[in-house]
Structure 1
Amino acid sequence: MKEDFTAAKGWLERIGELPIAHPVAVMNVCGGHERSLTQLGLRGVLPPNVKLISGPGCPVCVCPEEDLADAIALALTGDVTLVAFGDMLRVPINAAKGEVRSLAEARAKGADIRPISAPQEAVALAASNPARPVVFFAAGFETTTAPVAAMLAQGVPENLSVLLAARLTWPAVDMLLASGDAALDALIAPGHVAAVMGASEWGFIPERYHLPVAVAGFSANSLLAALYSVLRQKLAGKPFLDNCYAELVAPEGNLRAQALLAEVMEVTDANWRGIGVVPRSGFALRGEWKRFDARARFEFSALPRRRAGEMPPGCDCAAVVLGKKQPDQCRLYGTACTPQNPVGPCMVSDEGACHIWWQGGTRAAA
């Protein structure tokens, strides 16, 4: 069903009436928000003093390079079937010249690698091939990690293992704001993550950093309502947490999903590609589910790599993820790095800002 833009037009008019005399930088944390904002062309219709900045909401972009390298090595050298969400197959690692750079390239060399769209596909594949090890390379944020926890809690075949590269969203935002060089005036929090973890999780932003924040969905109406809210908060000098996606997001979130996460996984310090270790931002299997950890079941050989753990030379994906550069300010954007030949992870996923901007028609570096 097509979106009714009548309400959105009203929000745009209200935003246009606000007395915004100075530039206001608003970060949309979620990659899905960036996609909606770009596809809807909202940057082009907002007041010139309102600057929208993409944030760290792309799990493909921040997946540690070493986890990708381990997945590639296991698929190439182990007698296993490796499954992963589709976007992960094309993410490049910093391999030496002539070496395999991605899961897609490993697949082309004969590795048994298959894209899936839901955890239950991994379960079905393992159940139908009981004599063959199946490894689920599970990268993602809370929205996709909760179903992985549910999958394990419900019971899985003994030949299924999980190579977990899951992350919590809010700690990266907390680290960015705590650094003091974020140059942000307000934030729009991710609706799908808040639907799982609760809108209240984002209350630390006004409480600790005195910045406006609003949870938003993915429609023009919800995004513009959230933008109007944070702009009004900024002008009034009274920041608070607003929920502009109340039809799907409760203050406490999905308690059953949170209980499954807490039952199956524990929160750990975790590395983010190009950013470094973010405290208490990752998940690891706990208790009886540790036996399904691929790292406990398999030996991992090291691939020949350069600049291990870093972004490729010249790639500004880390700066884009942290909102310090816009995609077209990257030195490689639209030249060496395109969706057909991605150098950095932000050009791969449909939640990666560089890929979104390219698809939206921005084809050259600024």
Structure 2
Amino acid sequence: MAGAQAWLEKIRALPLARKVKIMNVCGGHERSITQAGLRGVLPDNVELVPGPGCPVCVCPEEDIYQAIQLALQDKVILVAFGDMLRVPVNVPKGEVRSLVEAQAAGADVRPIASPTEARKIALDNPGKPVVFFAAGFETTIAPVAAALAEGLPENLSILLSGRLTWPAVAMLLDSGTPGFDALVAPGHVATVMGPDEWRFVVDKHGLPTAVAGFLPESLLASFYSVLRQVADGKRFLDNCYLEVAHAAGNPTAQRLLAQTLDVVDANWRGIGIIPKSGYALKPEYAAWNARLKYPDHADPTRRRIGEMPPGCDCAKVVLGKLYPNQCRLYGKACTPRTPVGPCMVSDEGACRIWWSGGVREAAAD
């Protein structure tokens, strides 16, 4: 693969007749783009739009609320991926609004990095119930599926909030006003599910599409590919992450996902129900399903179709309708130290990424 400078020169040489908006779906891509300063070196007629690639940002409020109640009221050991601990929910002032606040209030809440840590904690505490709050996209949920297939300790259950990536993009495209002209598809998801999962963007919607890795060279190669498709009037799915994203993806991971989980309609915070966009444990794994073991805290009054806090524009940022610094709260009420919306919490959230990249003020009106 050519170096970053060579790809940049190729991009600058393209005869683009109009501005082209490229959506980069993945939060990891957005982080790489920002850290490498790629927006600042691309031609003025190329615009990069962050997309719905942050699982923490779209995790429904009711799931986070249930995790908090399990930790506080049922006295379980609640384990979750680190980013989830600081995501706030909408509750009256003075009530516990995040897992880290539940921890401060005396709940046993522990950050983990993998399902194997959840298993070890359960085995080390045989007389204590352990709940693994598992939020993530296909790449993160595949190891959860593997743990289920292998068999979990009796005292470990899973509160699953898994999502599939492509249905959110499909929803945007089906809306008729997607807000982008080309797509850079997530490399990590393609390593699991295969690049062909994104062929519908080309075949059904006629948009240039490329799968990218996370180094500047791969990202710039993907930008060049989709921009060249625009310039040439051709449309195809290009794989610019060949060294990792193989044509068939990871068949073992796909088999484990299909073996242990069902694909269901799912709520995305601030967005609503997206058909066939979530994972749920199959009935044969009911003994490890926290939603069934602890039904009292699936409080119907919390089901607000993923409502965001007042003034928070995270949902529009996730959908590529606004840039992070166009949110009404960005850099004002909402900062990484005092996050209001989930996009300012996660390392894959566009608001947190932009803030870390030095954008500290809201955009001018």
TM-score bracket, normalised by the shorter chain, equals over 0.9
Aligned-partner Cα distance in 1 for 2:300–2:87:
15
Matched, 1:64 2:57: no
Taking structure 1 as the reference length, the TM-score comes to 0.97
Which residue type is aligned with residue 339 of structure 1? P
Which residue type is aligned with residue 230 of structure 1? V
Residue 254 of structure 2 aligns with which residue?
Answer: 258
Shift of 1:235: 1.2
- Match of 1:300, SS state, is helix
- Match of 2:110, SS state, is strand
Residue 320 of structure 2 aligns with which residue?
Answer: 323
- Match of 1:12, SS state, is helix
How many residues in Structure 1 have an aligned counterpart in Structure 2?
362
Matched, 1:98 2:94: yes
Matched, 1:213 2:209: yes
Matched, 1:145 2:141: yes
Q: Percent identity?
A: 66
Aligned-partner Cα distance in 2 for 1:173–1:300:
34
Matched, 1:204 2:203: no
**Per-residue CA shift, 1:156-198, capped at 9, x if unaligned?**
1000000000000000100011001112110000000000000
Shift of 1:113: 0.4
Which residue type is aligned with residue 164 of structure 1? L
**The one of 155, 174, 178 aligned to 2:170:** 174
Aligned-partner Cα distance in 1 for 2:245–2:79:
31
Residues 95 and 306 in structure 1, CA contact (< 8 A), matched pair in contact too: no
Residue 331 of structure 2 aligns with which residue?
Answer: 334
CA gap 1:212/1:6 in 2 versus in 1, 3 angstroms: closer
Shift of 1:318: 0.2
Residue 233 of structure 2 aligns with which residue?
Answer: 237
Which residue type is aligned with residue 355 of structure 2? W
Shift of 1:305: 6.5
Matched, 1:289 2:272: no
**The one of 288, 291, 307 aligned to 1:310:** 307
Residue 269 of structure 2 aligns with which residue?
Answer: 273
Aligned-partner Cα distance in 2 for 1:236–1:300:
58
Unaligned segments of structure 2, at least 5 residues:
none
Shift of 1:22: 1.2
Shift of 1:132: 0.4
CA gap 1:213/1:308 in 2 versus in 1, 3 angstroms: closer
**The one of 71, 75, 94 aligned to 1:75:** 71
CA gap 1:265/1:85 in 2 versus in 1, 3 angstroms: same
Residues 271 and 306 in structure 2, CA contact (< 8 A), matched pair in contact too: no
Which residue type is aligned with residue 44 of structure 1? G
Residue 35 of structure 2 aligns with which residue?
Answer: 39
Residue 160 of structure 1 aligns with which residue?
Answer: 156
Which residue type is aligned with residue 123 of structure 1? R
Residues 73 and 300 in structure 1, CA contact (< 8 A), matched pair in contact too: no
Residues 24 and 183 in structure 2, CA contact (< 8 A), matched pair in contact too: yes
Residue 352 of structure 2 aligns with which residue?
Answer: 355
RMSD: 1.4
Aligned-partner Cα distance in 2 for 1:33–1:54:
9
CA gap 1:21/1:346 in 2 versus in 1, 3 angstroms: same
**The one of 179, 182, 187 aligned to 1:191:** 187
Taking structure 2 as the reference length, the TM-score comes to 0.97
Residues 27 and 53 in structure 1, CA contact (< 8 A), matched pair in contact too: yes
Matched, 1:9 2:5: yes
**Per-residue CA shift, 1:212-261, capped at 9, x if unaligned?**
00000000000000000000011112111000000001121000000000
- Match of 2:296, SS state, is coil
Which residue type is aligned with residue 244 of structure 1? C
Unaligned segments of structure 1, at least 5 residues:
none
Aligned-partner Cα distance in 2 for 1:149–1:304:
30
**Per-residue CA shift, 1:29-73, capped at 9, x if unaligned?**
000000000000000000000000000000000000110011111
Aligned-partner Cα distance in 2 for 1:308–1:231:
37
- Match of 1:94, SS state, is coil
Residue 365 of structure 1 aligns with which residue?
Answer: 362
- Match of 1:183, SS state, is coil
- Match of 2:335, SS state, is coil
Shift of 1:304: 8.4
Which residue type is aligned with residue 33 of structure 2? L
Residue 131 of structure 1 aligns with which residue?
Answer: 127
**Runs of 4+ more than 2 Å apart:** 299-309
- Match of 2:185, SS state, is strand
Residues 331 and 361 in structure 2, CA contact (< 8 A), matched pair in contact too: yes
- Match of 2:7, SS state, is helix
